Amino acid sequence: MSVSLTRSRPLRWGANYTPRDGWFHSWLDFDADAVRRDFEVLAGLGLDHVRVFPIWPLLQPSRTLIRGAELAKVGTVVDVAAEFGMDVAVDGLQGHLSSFDFLPSWVTSWHRRNIFTDPQVVAAEAELITAIAREVSARPNVIGLTVGNETDQFALDRHPEAFVTSADQMGAWLETMLAAAREGWPHGQHQHSFDDDVWFDDRSPVTPLHAAALGDVTTVHSWIFTAVAREFPAGHPARTRFAEYLVQLAAAWSDDPQRPVWLQEIGAPFPAVAEADAPDFLESSLRNTLDSPQLWGVTWWCSHDVSRTLGDFPELEYTLGLIDSDGVVKPIGRRLAELIQSERANPTAPVERTSTIEFDAGDPFTAPSRSATRPGGTVFASWLEAVESGERVGLSQAIRE
């Protein structure tokens, strides 16, 4: 199997925007000047886009109420980004962020209803997605909508209050949400996002085919603390090859060799990555990935450290930013700026994967054996050995009769 060269434009470089003041709670007391201050620093690093996260319960506190004032805030953030020459990717249903869930009261507790299957809930969600799309679509510096951040987490067995959903039901929900985005904005780049359970958990109702066939691009969230750091010690090349592996795996699941893959999240999580090692982790991880033909762009998680005045976050969330909570660019932020400058001056050329390592996940529609590709398994080990020997190798599904 040969993978054609698909990159037709320069890579996009961005950050997931975590507001310096008040984190995402800042939507409650929105300050455009604070956003302006944050974006000025981000643009100074050379970023061309940010990904932003409106909060679902604030936008839609009642199933039958979408607040125009909250939608207008989203539009203002897009306008502020334009002042600094940056584009914006907008998420819709937030959803899940940094270990916290943000669900409106009309789907919890006494009003608990399945957010993926209840007809009234799904209709309301679609209405909100369409409203967000219409709010931002007229602005020239908007990329598109992501349905929500890692929405698959609400359906996984490990969630303490999971919404039980089948693969067919999940596929129908995703198609409905993406159609709602296109209704409000026919020409945007629309997609959905998920954590790596989609690729490795045999029970996940979001399947690899959902990931690689629904929406305009396949998103990848590369976090080594979920599996890689447990399997491989500090300094092991698996840690800085994981993002590359996920991009290759995403490409392998698509029937379209031209389908873009967006490295939508990647970060340097402490303590899996020591603070002093974070700049090198960033550069090695990204340089390993940049020659992937399908790669659309990189959006680092995240822009700013969470302030330690905010309680109860996992420890890693306080250190993930390119910029600290006082507004000072960290060494990892400076390294990213240097990498962007270098890549714009001398871009890494995409390299064709002329050979692949085959995997068999079982029935392609449900992927009951997708765990065969997990970190620590034989597929990953074979792929890692090949790329570490200098071979630019991809992945491919076993052909099933």
User: Residue 222, Cβ neighbours under 10 Å: how many?
Assistant: 23
Closest CA to 78 of 14, 162, 138, 151: 138
Lookup: tokens for 160? 């303490």
User: What is the Cβ-side half-sphere exposure of residue 365, based on CA atoms within 13 angstroms?
Assistant: 6
Q: Please give the Cα distance from 75 to 70 (Å, whole number).
A: 9
Q: Quick one: CA torsion of 190, 196, 200, 204, rounded to 10 degrees?
A: -60
So what's the pLDDT on residue 5?
45
Lookup: tokens for 176? 């409905």
User: Residue 38, Cβ neighbours under 10 Å: how many?
Assistant: 24
So what's the pLDDT on residue 399?
72
Lookup: tokens for 313? 């976050």
* Whole-number percent of the chain with pLDDT over 90: 95
| Cβ contact 303:15 at 8 Å | yes
Closest CA to 45 of 80, 86, 11: 86
Q: Please give the Cα distance from 61 to 256 (Å, whole number).
A: 39
pLDDT tens-place string over residues 181-198: 999 999 999 999 999 999
User: Residue 177, Cβ neighbours under 10 Å: how many?
Assistant: 28
pLDDT tens-place string over residues 323-364: 999 999 999 999 999 999 999 999 999 999 989 999 999 999
Sequence-distant (≥ 6) Cβ neighbours of residue 2 within 8 angstroms:
352, 353, 354
So what's the pLDDT on residue 9?
74
Tens-level pLDDT at each residue, the chain (401 residues): 223 345 657 899 999 999 999 999 999 999 999 999 999 999 999 999 999 999 999 999 999 999 999 999 999 999 999 999 999 999 999 989 999 999 999 999 999 999 999 999 999 999 999 999 999 999 999 999 999 999 999 999 999 999 999 999 999 999 999 999 999 999 999 999 999 999 999 999 999 999 999 999 999 999 999 899 999 999 999 999 999 999 999 999 999 999 999 999 999 999 999 999 999 999 999 999 999 999 999 999 999 999 999 999 999 999 999 999 999 999 999 999 999 999 999 999 999 998 999 999 999 999 999 999 999 999 999 999 999 999 999 999 987 65
| Cβ contact 204:198 at 8 Å | yes
- The CATH-assigned architecture of domain 12-347 is Alpha-Beta Barrel (3.20)
Sequence-distant (≥ 6) Cβ neighbours of residue 226 within 8 angstroms:
195, 196
List the domain boundaries for the chain: 12-347
So what's the pLDDT on residue 6?
55
| Cβ contact 104:127 at 8 Å | no
- Please state, in angstroms and as integers, the Cα–Cα distance from residue 386 to each residue in 71, 245, 357, following that order: 49, 12, 9
Q: Please give the Cα distance from 142 to 124 (Å, whole number).
A: 24
Sequence-distant (≥ 6) Cβ neighbours of residue 294 within 8 angstroms:
3, 6, 7, 247, 250, 251, 257, 258, 259, 260, 261
Kindly report whether the global pTM for this prediction surpasses the value 0.85: yes
| Cβ contact 156:197 at 8 Å | yes
Three-class DSSP labels, the chain: CCCCCCCCCCCEEEEECCCCCCHHHHHCCCCHHHHHHHHHHHHHCCCCEEEECCCHHHHCCECCECCHHHHHHHHHHHHHHHHCCCEEEEEEECCEECCEECCCHHHCHHHCCCCCCCHHHHHHHHHHHHHHHHHHHCCCCEEEEEEECCHHHHHCCCCCCCCCCCHHHHHHHHHHHHHHHHHHCCCCCCECCCCCHHHHCCCCCCCHHHHHHCCCCEEEEECHHHCHHHHCCCCCHHHHHHHHHHHHHHHHHCCCCCCCEEEEEECCCCCCCCHHHHHHHHHHHHHHHCCCCCEEEEEECCCECCCCCCCCCCHHHHCCCCECCCCCECHHHHHHHHHHHHHHHCCCCCCCCCEEEEECCCCCCCCCCHHHHCCCCHHHHHHHHHHHCCCCEEEEECCCC
So what's the pLDDT on residue 354?
84
pLDDT tens-place string over residues 168-182: 999 999 999 999 999
Closest CA to 251 of 308, 222, 311, 293: 293
